[in-house]
A and B are shown apart, each in its own frame.
Chain A
């Protein structure tokens, strides 16, 4: 079946504007993760969903960042009042993960490249 998809693939916005990034996980995957990858850097964990709830939001860098997941499927990451330091690639991953102790493989989407001017 289809893999993880993300939209848009690229987003250019002006400082101070709000942006929404979308993630469609693999069908049937209950766990969904958001990561951020800054230029030349590793991946930084942002938030994790199990179903529609977010047991771990510890990676969100500020209160300008929020995320939701509805119907146990699509997730949206929202960044309010964007700043230049928010420029990065935002990656989404999903896994079967029926329990919090699962070691199921995480499958990544292609990412959304966000540029804040």
Chain B
């Protein structure tokens, strides 16, 4: 069935360092890959997304790369700040539009 694997489950970095979160997906028909940030007690908020017709997308300190052949996509956060601390979820669009989510990465940015 449709599946998304996300690694690592926890990530601790020093303020100013970069953070990388990686995901793999199983459904080769997936064509849309969003990343969500979830803070405690809140719903997930979209931070960046990529569609299958591009290999990379950047928005200020955040970038996402996609390798369709390998069915991998990654989130890169540069110059991390304490307010980046949250749980990050990757997702792949499955059949019918539903999102198949990874298990989440708890990012901690230490001042």
Chain A residues packing against B (C-beta within 8 Å)? 4, 31, 33, 35, 41-45, 48, 55-56, 59, 91, 93, 95, 97, 100, 102-103, 105-111
Q: Which residues of chain B have C-beta atoms less than 8 A from A35's C-beta?
A: 99, 101
The complex places the Cα of A31 from the Cα of B41 at a distance, in Å, of: 24
The complex places the Cα of A43 from the Cα of B104 at a distance, in Å, of: 9
- Could you say which of B34, B44, B102, B103 has the most chain A C-beta atoms within 10 Å of its C-beta? B44
Chain B interface residue count, Cβ-Cβ cutoff 8 angstroms: 27
Q: Known contacts A43-B99, A45-B94; can you find 8 more A-B pairs with CB under 8 A?
A: A35-B99, A41-B103, A43-B91, A100-B96, A100-B97, A103-B32, A109-B43, A110-B41
Total number of A-B contacts with CB less than 8 angstroms? 62
Q: Which residues of chain A have C-beta atoms less than 8 A from B91's C-beta?
A: 43
Q: Say whether, besides A42-B102, A103-B31, A95 and B43 are in contact (CB < 8 Å).
A: no
- Could you say which of A35, A43, A91 has the most chain B C-beta atoms within 10 Å of its C-beta? A43
Closest to B9 in A: A40
Chain A min CB distance to B95 (Å): 7
The complex places the Cα of A103 from the Cα of B95 at a distance, in Å, of: 11
Chain A min CB distance to B52 (Å): 9
B98 at the A/B interface (Cβ < 8 Å)? yes
Asked whether A108 lies within 8 Å of B45 as measured between CB atoms, the reply is: yes
Q: Say whether, besides A108-B36, A108-B45, A103 and B89 are in contact (CB < 8 Å).
A: no
The 4 closest A-B pairs by CB, nearest first: A103-B32, A108-B43, A56-B96, A43-B101
B51 at the A/B interface (Cβ < 8 Å)? yes
Asked whether B97 lies within 8 Å of A48 as measured between CB atoms, the reply is: yes
Q: Say whether, besides A42-B102, A43-B89, A55 and B96 are in contact (CB < 8 Å).
A: yes
Q: Which residues of chain A have C-beta atoms less than 8 A from B102's C-beta?
A: 42
Q: Which residues of chain A have C-beta atoms less than 8 A from B6's C-beta?
A: 42
Asked whether A48 lies within 8 Å of B96 as measured between CB atoms, the reply is: yes
Asked whether B95 lies within 8 Å of A110 as measured between CB atoms, the reply is: no
The complex places the Cα of A52 from the Cα of B84 at a distance, in Å, of: 38
The complex places the Cα of A40 from the Cα of B99 at a distance, in Å, of: 18
Closest to B31 in A: A103
